[in-house]
Amino acid sequence: MSTLTATTRSTRAELMRLRAWPAVWITLGAWLVLSLLFGYLFTYLSYTSGDPGFSDEGTTRAQQLAQMMPDAVPDVFLQGMPMFGGALMMVLGALVAGNGYGWGTWKTLFSQGVRRTPALVGSVLSLTAVVVGTLVVTFALDLGVSLLIATTESQDVVMPSAGSVAQSFGAGFLVLEMWALLGFLLGTLARGPALSVGLGLVWALVVENLLRGVGQLLGWVENLTAVLPGTSAGSLIGSIVCVGVGDGTPGVVDTVPGPRAAITVGVYVVLAVLASIALVRRRDVT
């Protein structure tokens, strides 16, 4: 069997598993709820009540309404990805890899002579397909909500440009893919879901934020944080979203320039895949 055929079969089998796995749908549902709450619901409540909420402090009603229009969807679509979306994708990646060990799937496959690299690449490709699907569903939901608000408020409908949509999709894919594959690497390292999920969440939600705070006092720590995954992801998104939308959004920063952040995120994507393959090829299956 050729490598391409083995990879294709592994991808199909993994996609069937993920499609029937409740954890995938729960993760997707949690992200969509968060995206809707922080992207539109809180802003709409502030707009209709005339009392700016915690996410819209310092903005006028006109600015709040503009943030909810269809042409602003590419910005709203991105703003929660560096922290909330990234954390959830990391959890999913850790579960995909870690449960392969916890359930004995990898041990069964490899002990029966299935080649390790095609099997792992198939798992990575299936995880990537979930990331792409998440992006498509999120954008469709955001666009639908924004069109509903524009119609309800009797506003002219101005659709986002194709260029802004492509840019947002590219940045969103890099960020979510990086976190998903880093979670996959953690699951491979820990050979189980529990420890890898815990470590990933602590790093994404706590450690990097603490290091950025310390970096304001220590120069070498600030230089270190500039190349960390969370800072790179937040800077990439911060280079795209409008100031009015991204200002104060958790995880969105302007620490490094956008092109440099994109390269760093891309490097993490490649390294996570290569490191996972190297670990699986070298270690015993038990």
Domain ranges of the chain: 3-282
For the segment 144-201, what is each residue's pLDDT rounded down to a tens digit?
999 999 999 888 889 999 999 999 999 999 999 999 999 999 989 888 777 888 887 7
Q: Is the pLDDT of residue 240 over 70?
A: yes
What's the pLDDT score for residue 244? 43
Binned at pLDDT 50, 70 and 90, residue 64 comes out as: confident
Question: Between these two residues, 28 and 57, which has the higher pLDDT value?
Answer: 28
Taking CA atoms, 281 is separated from 6, 114, 233, 276, in Å, by 16, 12, 29, 9
What's the mean per-residue pLDDT of the chain?
84
Q: Which string of DSSP letters, residue by residue, matches 152-172?
A: HTT----PPPHHHHHHHHHHH
Residue whose structure tokens are 């496959």: 109
Q: What is the mean pLDDT of residues 86-104?
A: 86
